[in-house]
Amino acid sequence: MKTKTCALVLFLLITGSSFAQASGKRFGFELNGGASLATRKVEGVSTQTGAGFEGLFHYRFMPHLGAYAGWGWNKLPARHSFAGDDVCFEETGYVFGLNFSHPIDGSGLSYYVRAAGLYNHIETENADGDIINDTGHGLGFQLAGGIEIPLNSKWNLTPGVKFNSLSRETTYEGTTKELDYRYVSIRMGIVRKF
Protein backbone atom coordinates (compact mmCIF):
# COMPACT_ATOMS: atom_id res chain seq x y z
CA MET A 1 0.00 0.00 0.00
CA LYS A 2 2.86 2.39 0.81
CA THR A 3 4.35 1.75 -2.64
CA LYS A 4 1.06 2.60 -4.39
CA THR A 5 0.64 5.76 -2.30
CA CYS A 6 4.23 6.89 -2.98
CA ALA A 7 3.81 6.17 -6.71
CA LEU A 8 0.58 8.19 -6.82
CA VAL A 9 2.15 11.15 -5.00
CA LEU A 10 5.19 11.04 -7.30
CA PHE A 11 2.93 10.87 -10.37
CA LEU A 12 0.98 13.91 -9.15
CA LEU A 13 4.13 15.89 -8.52
CA ILE A 14 5.62 15.09 -11.92
CA THR A 15 2.44 15.33 -14.01
CA GLY A 16 -1.14 16.54 -13.19
CA SER A 17 -4.04 18.31 -15.06
CA SER A 18 -5.04 21.39 -16.98
CA PHE A 19 -6.86 24.55 -16.06
CA ALA A 20 -6.38 27.17 -18.77
CA GLN A 21 -7.50 30.10 -16.69
CA ALA A 22 -6.33 33.69 -16.66
CA SER A 23 -5.37 33.28 -13.00
CA GLY A 24 -2.44 31.03 -13.97
CA LYS A 25 -3.21 28.56 -11.19
CA ARG A 26 -1.67 25.18 -12.05
CA PHE A 27 -3.08 22.85 -9.37
CA GLY A 28 -6.61 21.82 -8.54
CA PHE A 29 -8.72 19.33 -6.65
CA GLU A 30 -12.06 18.17 -8.08
CA LEU A 31 -14.98 16.26 -6.60
CA ASN A 32 -17.57 15.07 -9.09
CA GLY A 33 -20.51 12.72 -8.99
CA GLY A 34 -23.74 11.79 -10.67
CA ALA A 35 -25.96 9.16 -12.23
CA SER A 36 -24.60 6.35 -14.40
CA LEU A 37 -26.22 4.09 -16.97
CA ALA A 38 -24.71 0.85 -18.32
CA THR A 39 -24.13 0.83 -22.09
CA ARG A 40 -24.24 -2.98 -22.20
CA LYS A 41 -25.29 -5.87 -19.99
CA VAL A 42 -22.80 -7.11 -17.39
CA GLU A 43 -22.33 -10.79 -18.39
CA GLY A 44 -25.93 -10.92 -19.65
CA VAL A 45 -27.35 -9.06 -16.64
CA SER A 46 -29.51 -5.96 -17.09
CA THR A 47 -28.63 -3.29 -14.56
CA GLN A 48 -30.57 -0.33 -13.23
CA THR A 49 -29.47 3.30 -13.12
CA GLY A 50 -26.54 3.65 -10.76
CA ALA A 51 -24.40 6.39 -9.28
CA GLY A 52 -20.78 7.21 -8.64
CA PHE A 53 -18.21 9.82 -7.68
CA GLU A 54 -14.54 10.69 -8.14
CA GLY A 55 -11.89 12.71 -6.32
CA LEU A 56 -9.22 14.03 -8.70
CA PHE A 57 -6.00 16.00 -8.39
CA HIS A 58 -5.08 18.20 -11.37
CA TYR A 59 -1.85 19.80 -12.51
CA ARG A 60 -1.60 22.03 -15.62
CA PHE A 61 1.85 21.73 -17.22
CA MET A 62 1.10 23.62 -20.46
CA PRO A 63 -1.32 26.50 -21.19
CA HIS A 64 -4.14 24.13 -22.22
CA LEU A 65 -2.86 20.69 -21.28
CA GLY A 66 -2.34 18.89 -18.01
CA ALA A 67 -2.79 15.59 -16.24
CA TYR A 68 -5.10 14.29 -13.57
CA ALA A 69 -5.13 11.36 -11.20
CA GLY A 70 -7.43 10.18 -8.44
CA TRP A 71 -9.83 7.56 -7.14
CA GLY A 72 -13.40 6.72 -8.13
CA TRP A 73 -16.37 4.53 -7.24
CA ASN A 74 -19.43 3.53 -9.29
CA LYS A 75 -22.36 1.23 -8.46
CA LEU A 76 -24.78 -0.47 -10.87
CA PRO A 77 -27.59 -2.40 -9.13
CA ALA A 78 -29.31 -5.47 -10.63
CA ARG A 79 -32.57 -7.10 -9.53
CA HIS A 80 -31.70 -10.53 -10.95
CA SER A 81 -28.30 -11.92 -11.91
CA PHE A 82 -26.14 -15.05 -12.10
CA ALA A 83 -24.87 -14.02 -8.64
CA GLY A 84 -28.37 -13.89 -7.10
CA ASP A 85 -31.17 -11.36 -6.67
CA ASP A 86 -30.71 -7.74 -5.58
CA VAL A 87 -26.97 -7.54 -6.19
CA CYS A 88 -24.77 -4.58 -7.02
CA PHE A 89 -21.74 -4.46 -9.28
CA GLU A 90 -19.31 -1.87 -7.90
CA GLU A 91 -16.28 -0.54 -9.76
CA THR A 92 -13.60 1.11 -7.63
CA GLY A 93 -10.03 2.11 -8.25
CA TYR A 94 -7.65 4.63 -9.73
CA VAL A 95 -7.73 6.94 -12.74
CA PHE A 96 -4.76 8.69 -14.38
CA GLY A 97 -4.91 10.70 -17.60
CA LEU A 98 -4.63 13.87 -19.64
CA ASN A 99 -6.96 16.87 -19.67
CA PHE A 100 -7.20 19.41 -22.52
CA SER A 101 -9.02 22.64 -21.64
CA HIS A 102 -9.61 25.62 -23.91
CA PRO A 103 -11.54 28.91 -23.46
CA ILE A 104 -14.71 29.42 -25.48
CA ASP A 105 -14.24 32.83 -27.13
CA GLY A 106 -15.84 35.72 -25.26
CA SER A 107 -17.98 33.56 -22.98
CA GLY A 108 -15.80 33.24 -19.88
CA LEU A 109 -16.37 29.45 -20.16
CA SER A 110 -13.95 26.71 -21.21
CA TYR A 111 -14.56 23.26 -22.62
CA TYR A 112 -12.54 20.24 -21.52
CA VAL A 113 -11.78 16.84 -23.01
CA ARG A 114 -10.18 14.02 -20.99
CA ALA A 115 -8.66 10.63 -21.78
CA ALA A 116 -7.41 8.35 -19.02
CA GLY A 117 -6.40 4.89 -17.99
CA LEU A 118 -8.09 3.02 -15.16
CA TYR A 119 -6.65 0.55 -12.66
CA ASN A 120 -9.90 -0.73 -11.17
CA HIS A 121 -11.70 -3.83 -9.93
CA ILE A 122 -15.33 -4.96 -9.84
CA GLU A 123 -16.89 -6.20 -6.62
CA THR A 124 -20.22 -8.00 -6.56
CA GLU A 125 -22.25 -7.35 -3.39
CA ASN A 126 -25.36 -9.16 -2.21
CA ALA A 127 -28.51 -7.53 -0.78
CA ASP A 128 -26.90 -7.41 2.70
CA GLY A 129 -23.91 -5.46 1.35
CA ASP A 130 -21.49 -8.39 1.67
CA ILE A 131 -18.84 -8.78 -1.03
CA ILE A 132 -19.45 -12.14 -2.72
CA ASN A 133 -16.89 -11.73 -5.53
CA ASP A 134 -13.95 -9.48 -6.41
CA THR A 135 -12.31 -9.54 -9.85
CA GLY A 136 -9.01 -8.04 -8.73
CA HIS A 137 -7.56 -4.89 -10.30
CA GLY A 138 -6.95 -4.53 -14.02
CA LEU A 139 -6.63 -1.90 -16.72
CA GLY A 140 -9.46 -0.04 -18.44
CA PHE A 141 -10.03 3.40 -19.89
CA GLN A 142 -12.06 6.60 -19.40
CA LEU A 143 -13.17 9.30 -21.86
CA ALA A 144 -14.84 12.50 -20.66
CA GLY A 145 -15.82 15.99 -21.73
CA GLY A 146 -17.73 19.00 -20.52
CA ILE A 147 -17.71 22.67 -19.65
CA GLU A 148 -15.78 24.60 -16.99
CA ILE A 149 -17.88 27.38 -15.43
CA PRO A 150 -15.83 29.80 -13.30
CA LEU A 151 -17.51 30.88 -10.07
CA ASN A 152 -14.56 33.08 -9.04
CA SER A 153 -10.75 32.95 -9.33
CA LYS A 154 -10.51 29.78 -7.21
CA TRP A 155 -13.68 27.75 -7.87
CA ASN A 156 -15.13 26.17 -11.05
CA LEU A 157 -18.16 24.02 -11.74
CA THR A 158 -17.47 21.18 -14.20
CA PRO A 159 -20.66 19.62 -15.58
CA GLY A 160 -19.94 16.89 -18.10
CA VAL A 161 -20.28 13.36 -19.40
CA LYS A 162 -17.86 10.48 -18.96
CA PHE A 163 -17.57 6.94 -20.28
CA ASN A 164 -15.74 4.19 -18.35
CA SER A 165 -14.83 0.78 -19.75
CA LEU A 166 -13.37 -2.09 -17.70
CA SER A 167 -13.35 -5.80 -18.57
CA ARG A 168 -12.35 -8.27 -15.87
CA GLU A 169 -12.47 -12.07 -15.74
CA THR A 170 -13.60 -13.81 -12.57
CA THR A 171 -14.98 -17.15 -11.38
CA TYR A 172 -18.46 -17.74 -9.90
CA GLU A 173 -19.13 -21.21 -8.49
CA GLY A 174 -16.52 -22.78 -10.76
CA THR A 175 -17.66 -20.95 -13.91
CA THR A 176 -15.51 -18.28 -15.55
CA LYS A 177 -17.34 -15.01 -16.24
CA GLU A 178 -16.15 -12.00 -18.27
CA LEU A 179 -17.55 -8.86 -16.63
CA ASP A 180 -17.67 -6.02 -19.16
CA TYR A 181 -18.40 -3.00 -16.99
CA ARG A 182 -19.18 -0.10 -19.33
CA TYR A 183 -21.25 2.92 -18.49
CA VAL A 184 -21.99 6.55 -19.34
CA SER A 185 -22.25 8.98 -16.47
CA ILE A 186 -23.72 12.48 -16.28
CA ARG A 187 -21.53 14.31 -13.77
CA MET A 188 -21.48 17.57 -11.87
CA GLY A 189 -18.17 18.53 -10.37
CA ILE A 190 -16.64 21.34 -8.39
CA VAL A 191 -12.97 22.26 -8.62
CA ARG A 192 -10.83 24.23 -6.16
CA LYS A 193 -7.79 25.71 -7.93
CA PHE A 194 -4.61 26.70 -6.14
pLDDT for 9: 44
Where along the chain do its domains lie? 2-193
pLDDT at residue number 83: 86
DSSP secondary structure letters along the chain: -HHHHHHHHHHHHH-------TT---EEEEEEEEEEEESS-BTTB----EEEEEEEEEEE-SSSEEEEEEEEEEEEEEEEETTEEEEEEEEEEEEEEEEEEEE-TTTS-EEEEEEEEEEEEEEEE-TTS-EEEE---EEEEEEEEEEEEESSSSEEE--EEEEEEEEEEEEETTEEEEEEEEEEEEEEEEEEE-
Question: In terms of CATH architecture, what is 2-193?
Answer: Beta Barrel (2.40)
What does each of the 194 residues of the chain score in pLDDT, given as a tens digit? 555 554 444 444 444 333 333 457 899 999 999 999 999 999 999 999 999 999 999 999 999 999 999 999 999 999 988 888 999 999 999 999 999 999 999 888 999 999 999 999 999 999 999 999 999 999 999 999 999 999 999 999 999 999 999 999 999 888 899 999 999 999 999 999 99
